[in-house]
Chains A and B, each alone.
Chain A
């Protein structure tokens, strides 16, 4: 065999293309002439044909009758399901959405006062950018324009300039950019990131050495926008340090492994549409769908907490992508509410789904926005803006949130979910006014009894359950509770934690852990180590953290318990 000459090396890809019939005649003819006189290229040409013939001759099964019958059954079921879904979707569009119900019934006066004012508020994306998108809350007035969106996003969209002092280096955008498909999915599903690329790549600049140093971070980024990128989730050294400090040096390694196993469990139980169901296997379908959006939001949060984002290199990027796409696609275009995966009576608590869904999208956006193509970014930002507007529009006059827009009474758990979501949006760079958060926080504070317990509707109700109190404590930096109130709450939570069997109460346990995360495990009297050990003992061989004895709005289930536990265990580095 003659060695290929330099010019032949350049020809080789063409020779392969020729053998595959890829070349137009005008290019094929001269190349064929070259093959006549060049044994090296001729042999490549012949080998290409042989490789293809051999590949084609590999044995492979051909679906037989039994397989075809199975396929037909599967397709019939999927077809029926899709028809039912379309019908439900049409129903949803025909029937009046929750906000319209608000306009028509319970909150008529309240709604009219808003409609008359033709409430317009602006939400700027990132403080640095000029006012970018305007969100109109329109509608009301008569009710003739039923199909008109109640929440509109309009105006020019200006992308914020890159942060001048980004301490980490972004991975390179692939050649040709990220391909865009139809309006959905929001985040392209193929081809990126390139396997082998890794993040982060560079040393931190002297500007912000340590994202765990919150006082320095907040000095440099007073609006909190640092959390959109300067997070320890992408730095294994910082994560290890955070874990050891909060949970104890011995527990840290085991926690890392437990998180890994939990994420594998979640990835394995994600359904093909990118979501996770509420309830338990075997529950009737409405129960599985009832809080699907909320549970999916919290599951996304678990992956994000571990630095597993949609666009950064990693085992679970497609898991997160699918879930983000599902949540973005679940938005009701009229009301802006997110996370409804069922219509009719089972969708009776839309804000319970909306909160975690909005929070997850905002956090996903915050961590990945620099890698999104502009159109995708704009689309995703618009979804989040509509979601923020929907939350703000649903806030009751007393500052609380109920199960649905227009609900007659507020609920502390739903209010906490909205606060968490709006805070996530703020940290991702969306300008959410403090006023709404302050009003919600004041309402929460008014529901805390002298015993330090937060009630669901009024101070002191539901005395048997301190989960809500612990959940409120995890949002302390937003709620800004008076120190003496906070201390009373913490004492009550720790008293119950000491008395309770933590093995079965995954949500309570997780909230307690997250409350303790900012503290030092070595602090005298800090029970973090014991709670962590109880948590690790309760992990099932599948990696799940199940729950039996908790009460919470999001019906208990293994996906929820597992995701909530991951959020708690990773709190020291989030």
Chain B
């Protein structure tokens, strides 16, 4: 059970075992970076905030209590960091350029593959998935913060409604209705279906 392992690792780290942290970093750093990247559209910010998340975990490790799955704990910290950053930067929205957004720096690798578990899309579907990825990215930028947070946290591998709720400190029912609202708005951005049937009022 990986979840139990995570909590166990964190407890070992709290009690002074430095190597336990390395294992947690190995497991979760990539999703952390990904989460921050989709929030900020900036590689520098994503790297910076992901680092800061781990630093906070180090600093507050003495207070760690295994009350929830480790990911809930991790992304609660991450989400608070993002709010701090988001608020302090409201005056000057993060800038990003299209060629920067994918490249990262110093030849960082870029994963274009989906992290979604499950079947690989058929080759014929693949092109449309990537085309839709761009549309969804833009649609997400127009989403109200409350809906966007629910959606983005839901995209983190394995996070359930209850966990998203406890990260955002909102009831599960609210998560459910916000996710529904988010999906309803995002589906408008989907490409028209094959056979000409639009999904919602898709772009013409």
Contact = CB atoms under 8 A, between A and B. Distances in A.
Contacts of A190: 76, 79-80, 83, 167-169
A60 B197 contact: no
Q: Which of B79, B135, B180 has the most CB of A within 10 A?
A: B180
A495 B137 CA distance: 64
Given A20-B179, A82-B61, A318-B83, A60 B137 contact: no
A50 B132 contact: yes
Given A17-B179, A54-B132, A59-B101, 10 more contacts: A53-B132, A55-B136, A56-B155, A63-B30, A63-B50, A66-B105, A67-B104, A67-B108, A189-B80, A267-B88
A43 interface: yes
Interface in A30-78: 43-44, 47-48, 50-64, 66-68, 70-71, 74-75, 78
A522 to B, nearest CB: 35
Nearest to B157: A56
B114 A67 contact: no
A62 B140 CA distance: 21
A66 to B, nearest CB: 5
Contacts, number: 193
B171 A175 contact: yes
Nearest to A14: B176
Interface string B158-198: 00110000111111001011011001101100100000010
Contacts of A67: 47, 104, 106, 108
Interface stretch (A176-184, A373-381, A500-508): A176-184
A13 B108 contact: no
A25 interface: no
A22 interface: yes
B18 interface: yes
Contacts of A221: none
Nearest to A188: B169
Nearest to B176: A13
B54 A75 contact: yes
Given A58-B137, A61-B109, A191-B168, A47 B63 contact: no
Contacts of B109: 61-62, 64
Contacts of B110: 59-62
Given A55-B140, A82-B61, A318-B83, A74 B133 contact: no
19 contacts: A12-B180, A50-B187, A50-B190, A51-B187, A52-B116, A53-B114, A61-B108, A64-B107, A64-B109, A67-B108, A71-B50, A75-B21, A75-B54, A78-B54, A182-B63, A190-B76, A272-B56, A318-B83, A318-B87
Interface string A308-329: 0000000110110010000000
A16 interface: yes
Contacts of B18: 79
B58 interface: yes
A62 B108 contact: yes
A66 B55 contact: no
A273 interface: yes
B130 interface: yes
A343 to B, nearest CB: 16
Interface of B is mostly: helix
Interface residue tally of chain A, by bracket?
A: 35 or more
B114 A56 contact: yes
B152 to A, nearest CB: 8
Contacts of B180: 12-13, 16
A268 B114 contact: no
Interface string B28-71: 01100110011000010011001110111011011101000000
Q: Which of B65, B168, B199 has the most CB of A within 10 A?
A: B199
A381 to B, nearest CB: 21
The 5 A-B residue pairs whose C-beta atoms are closest, nearest first, are: A191-B169, A54-B132, A61-B104, A56-B116, A13-B180
A264 B91 contact: yes
Contacts of A13: 176-177, 179-180
Contacts of A188: 169
Interface in B82-135: 83-84, 87-88, 90-91, 101-116, 121, 129-130, 132-135
Q: Which of A59, A74, A75 has the most CB of B within 10 A?
A: A59
Nearest to A52: B116
Contact of A66 (B62, B103, B106): B106
A20 B114 CA distance: 16
B137 A70 contact: no
B8 to A, nearest CB: 19
B197 A47 contact: no
Contact of A17 (B43, B52, B161, B199): B161
B167 to A, nearest CB: 8
Contacts of A58: 38, 133-134, 136-137
Contacts of A168: none
A176 to B, nearest CB: 5
Nearest to B31: A60
Contact of B30 (A22, A62, A189, A272): A62
A290 B46 CA distance: 33
Given A51-B186, A56-B115, A59-B112, A176 B171 contact: yes
Nearest to B65: A182
A43 B134 CA distance: 21
Contacts of A55: 133, 136, 140, 151, 155, 186
Nearest to B62: A86
B31 to A, nearest CB: 10
B77 to A, nearest CB: 9
A64 B136 CA distance: 26
Nearest to B32: A63
Contacts of B179: 13, 16-17, 20
Given A47-B183, A61-B104, A54 B135 contact: yes
Given A13-B180, A188-B169, A190-B168, A57 B133 contact: yes
Given A53-B129, A272-B55, A48 B114 contact: no
A192 interface: yes
A372 to B, nearest CB: 15
